[in-house]
Structure 1
């Protein structure tokens, strides 16, 4: 195993409600979702690294919102690693009567690429990019089709920036082979705790973290 994290490094997560998960109120500072699970398991497996963790998810965010707070919530924190999961709201709002707030795929790609470039150039951080997802087994369902398109953007950006790529859609697809969407989320988007564990497992697989 290649050791990705070095002692004392700072890992920052930024994104929407899936990342936020109560980190600003009832479950501060890490939230009660995948971020806290990843933090807990990495800490348990590699306690000697004494890593620092910061959650900067905000519910409802699109990539446009990230652009508005990028300097304060990403660059100013000087992360060694920056994890970005964004795109679910950018897509979802096309399907919930809020098309003016949705982000077309070309804008999504251009904006996200620009933010990642600024972060890397300003801090030298390494990137972890997680796919947007929908917990929907029907590959022909319209929102699922769009989610796949945006996921391809993230995949390409991960390659472009030599980032770790967290395949969250693929992880849920494996789970859905023997379960229903409602087992993981009431609305196909916001996971229950087992659903967050699916995401966390995808992160741990990408990080390839084992015990020392």
Structure 2
């Protein structure tokens, strides 16, 4: 009888704990640069992901956290990984970095060489996977919206996007190919071949339409 009572006690304690664990929302961190920093604003892409989740009745299932800092490159993310990501115990992390690694090569001479970009990026993934975090890597988007491959940094962006695709395959992590998604969209929606004003306000940072488009892609990757 005592054994039965003890079993019932354990059962009654365990069931509520399991229920609480199952009801805990999925913690998602968006890790990146100024595009992600702006993502938590009123019309930012992270805010819009939250609105889309709410519209589908799933907002209680996810906790969204922005961890973007303007000007960041991949090694900046590595330096703040512990404080801004790992300490928060996320379930999912989107890594979205690369624009400044490419852009700053020409603007200030402080970009990131391809080999260093790969090393820091894979070090980020290794540390996250060690904590059983679901990692989703994103290719960099655009520095200029011309759709004929005539933007000044298109060559580097294509190269670094290729590196991200290879990193995804080599490290067995999910890929969100934003470079391709933005390119496909602009091919259809930029008939005048404008440099900006479709998805970006200044060739890089997003318009409200750009934030909405990015949010849709992020959400598709998150809930698939």
Indicate the TM-score class for this superposition, using the shorter chain for normalisation.
Answer: 0.7 to 0.9
Q: Does 1:111 align with 2:107?
A: no
Q: Does 1:187 align with 2:187?
A: no
Of the three residues 133, 136, 141, the one matched with 1:128 is: 136
The change in CA–CA distance for 1:43 and 1:160 in structure 2 (over 3 A counts) is farther
The runs of at least 4 consecutive aligned structure 1 residues that moved more than 6 Å come to: none
2: CA distance between counterparts of 1:186 and 1:51? Answer: 29
Instruction: Structure 1 unaligned segments of length 5 or more: list them.
Output: 1-5
Q: RMSD of aligned C-alpha atoms?
A: 2.2
Give the CA deviation at 1:196: 1.2
Give the CA deviation at 1:43: 3.6
TM-score (norm 2): 0.79
Partner of 1:77: 88
Output one character per residue of 1:93-142: Cα deviation in whole Å (capped at 9) or x when no partner.
1121x11x211111001001001111110x21101111112133132544
Give the CA deviation at 1:159: 2.1
Output one character per residue of 1:58-104: Cα deviation in whole Å (capped at 9) or x when no partner.
111001211111110111111100111001000001121x11x2111
Partner of 2:55: 44
1: CA distance between counterparts of 2:77 and 2:222? Answer: 24
SS class of match (1:124): coil
1: CA distance between counterparts of 2:148 and 2:221? Answer: 25
Instruction: Structure 2 unaligned segments of length 5 or more: list them.
Output: 1-22
1: CA distance between counterparts of 2:135 and 2:70? Answer: 21
The change in CA–CA distance for 1:48 and 1:35 in structure 2 (over 3 A counts) is closer
Partner of 1:172: 182
Partner of 2:165: 155
2: CA distance between counterparts of 1:39 and 1:145? Answer: 34
SS class of match (1:21): helix
2: CA distance between counterparts of 1:66 and 1:48? Answer: 27
Would the aligned equivalents of 1:13 and 1:82 in 2 still touch at CA under 8 Å? yes
Would the aligned equivalents of 1:138 and 1:144 in 2 still touch at CA under 8 Å? no
SS class of match (2:80): helix
Would the aligned equivalents of 1:167 and 1:202 in 2 still touch at CA under 8 Å? no
TM-score (norm 1): 0.83
Tell me: higher relative CO, structure 1 or 2? Use CA pairs within 8 A at least 6 residues apart.
1
2: CA distance between counterparts of 1:146 and 1:107? Answer: 14
Give the CA deviation at 1:47: 2.2
SS class of match (1:182): coil
Partner of 1:3: none
Would the aligned equivalents of 1:63 and 1:111 in 2 still touch at CA under 8 Å? yes
